[in-house]
Amino acid sequence: MSLINYSSKEINCKIVYYGPGLGGKTTNIKYIYSKVNPGSRGKLMSLDTELDRTLFFDFLPVNLGRVKGFYVHFHLYTVPGQVYYNASRKLILKGVDGIVFVADSQIERFEDNIESLENLKENLSEYSRILEEIPMSIQYNKRDLPNIVSIAELEEDLNPRVLFSCEAVAVDGIGVFEPLKAVSKEVLRKLK
């Protein structure tokens, strides 16, 4: 949960990028790192394998600055998408405030998206939490590739709650900030 520290006047919010392996979660966070003013962000930390696949998580702290006397920080995490790493994926969800679900638009990855969403629900349930109660936005990534599922179909299967969603080509920075902004705002509103 967002940790509001009344004495140091800080609000920390944890946003987790979730989704199937090789879907572009790390690409999102790397793009954010490259574009956010260095004064407003910390170090990008990646715990990955030798082949650059996320092993544990990526972490990027972003500072919103001072709002009404409170310093607001967003801590962005990615999880390892590969099915094999579920134990570490589950750990990162601890205390999550908001989720950006990065879906892979390619036809051959369609089932992986659904499986990852189901896995998200299962992992949250181990912390006695329900996905429907957590702010979330969806990014349909890799829209530049030729062999992709239509947005209508993706929406039908991945977004029945009609949450904020957008098309993206994360590698070019298209559609990267929009889902982050949407979920961050929702997290702030939930602080009430």
Partner 1 sequence: METDNVNSFEREYQKIKENLEKLCRETKASYVLLIDKAGQLITSAGDTSSLDIPSFATLSAADFAATSNLADLIGEHDFSTLFHQGKARSIYVSLIANQVILAVIFPRETTLGLIRIKVKKASADLERFFENIFTQLESEYVGTVDQDFIKEAESELDSLFE
Tell the smallest beta-carbon distance from residue 108 to partner 1 (Å).
31
CA distance 89 to 92: 6
Tell me which stretch binds partner 1 (CB under 8 A): 22-30, 84-92, 116-124, 129-137: 84-92
Strands 10-18 and 98-104: parallel
Q: Which two tokens stand for residue 114?
A: 């659904």
Tell me which stretch binds partner 1 (CB under 8 A): 83-91, 106-114, 137-145, 161-169: 83-91
Considering only residues 49, 65, 115, 172, which one is a binding residue for partner 1 as defined by CB under 8 A? Answer: 65
Say if CB 130 and CB 124 are below 8 A apart.
yes
Dihedral of CA 99/80/19/61: which sign? positive
Instruction: Assign 31 to helix, strand or coil.
Output: helix
Q: What is the DSSP letter of 135?
A: -
Considering only residues 72, 79, 166, 170, which one is a binding residue for partner 1 as defined by CB under 8 A? Answer: 72
User: Of 63, 60, 64, 74, whose CA–CA distance to 30 is shortest?
Assistant: 60
Phi-psi region of 8 (alpha: psi -120 to 50; beta: other; left: phi over 0): alpha
Tell me which stretch binds partner 1 (CB under 8 A): 55-63, 117-125, 130-138, 160-168: 55-63
Tell the smallest beta-carbon distance from residue 70 to partner 1 (Å).
7
Q: Is 37 in the site for partner 1 (CB under 8 A)?
A: yes
What proportions of the chain, in percent to the nearest 5, are helix, strand and coil?
35, 30, 30
Considering only residues 34, 45, 83, 156, which one is a binding residue for partner 1 as defined by CB under 8 A? Answer: 45
Per CB under 8 A, which of residues 122..181 are in contact with partner 1? Answer: 177, 180-181
Tell me which stretch binds partner 1 (CB under 8 A): 19-27, 86-94, 106-114, 141-149: 86-94
Q: Which two tokens stand for residue 37?
A: 């003013």
Please report, as ranges, the residues that interact with partner 1 according to CB under 8 A.
Answer: 1, 3-8, 11-12, 14, 32, 36-37, 40, 42-43, 45, 47, 56-57, 59, 61-62, 64-65, 67-68, 70, 72, 75, 87-88, 91-92, 94-96, 177, 180-181, 184-185, 188-189, 191-192
